[in-house]
């Protein structure tokens, strides 16, 4: 049954990557800012399934981003793996129906992602206007990501519950 979960997760990663890089980047972009679906997915699976699943989702989503848009292979993957690992620590204190914790973690993770991207892609090139980047990119992207999270998180939670029920049924049939 773990194979079924992995296949669904991989398809979900591809779907979110396509949404983030095409539809929301071109059609639904507000002031040229799009929500970060990979952060939503990585944090959600880190919370719902633990560090290992969060790192898996983060790595695959990051590698996809690096392959298609990155200048250095592995940098975005490393950021998403760190996000998945850190959010996986909250797995034990996670309550399914409480949406406050995922929203806060997604907001903090998106801000951390934005700061890391600024530090390693702009600051090292000599662009030192940090407050401009915070006002024009980091904060608007975080707000847009949090708003989208309120809808997407419920769908991910529903999918996770269905997969857990299917896994429990298959384990029960072996016992």
Domain boundaries, the chain: 2-21+34-166
- CA–CA gap between residue 62 and residue 103 (Å, rounded): 21
Report which DSSP code applies to 159: H
pLDDT value at residue 175: 53
Domain 2-21+34-166 of CATH type 1.10.1760.20: yes
Question: Of 12, 10, 85, 48, which Cα lies nearest the Cα of 164?
Answer: 48
Question: Of 73, 22, 77, 75, which Cα lies nearest the Cα of 54?
Answer: 77
CB 149 within 8 A of CB 102: yes
Residue-level pLDDT, tens digit, the chain, 175 residues: 478 889 999 999 999 999 998 888 877 767 778 899 999 999 999 999 999 999 999 999 999 999 999 888 999 999 999 999 999 998 888 777 788 999 999 999 999 999 999 998 888 788 788 899 999 999 999 999 999 999 999 999 999 999 888 888 876 665 5
């Amino acid at each position: 049954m773990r194979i079924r979960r992995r296949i669904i997760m991989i398809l979900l990663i591809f779907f979110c990557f396509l949404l983030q890089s095409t539809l929301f980047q071109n059609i639904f972009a507000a002031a040229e800012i799009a929500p970060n679906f990979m952060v939503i997915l990585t944090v959600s699976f880190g919370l719902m399934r633990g560090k290992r699943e969060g790192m898996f989702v983060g790595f695959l989503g990051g590698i996809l981003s690096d392959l298609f848009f990155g200048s250095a292979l592995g940098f975005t993957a490393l950021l998403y793996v760190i996000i998945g690992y850190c959010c996986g620590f909250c797995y034990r204190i996670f309550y399914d129906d409480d949406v406050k914790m995922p929203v806060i973690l997604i907001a903090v993770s998106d801000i951390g992602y934005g700061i890391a991207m600024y530090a390693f892609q702009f600051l090292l090139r000599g662009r030192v206007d940090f407050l401009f980047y915070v006002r024009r990119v980091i904060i608007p992207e975080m707000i847009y990501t949090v708003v989208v999270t309120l809808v997407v998180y419920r769908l991910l939670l529903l999918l996770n519950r269905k997969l857990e029920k299917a896994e429990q049924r298959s384990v029960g049939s072996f016992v």
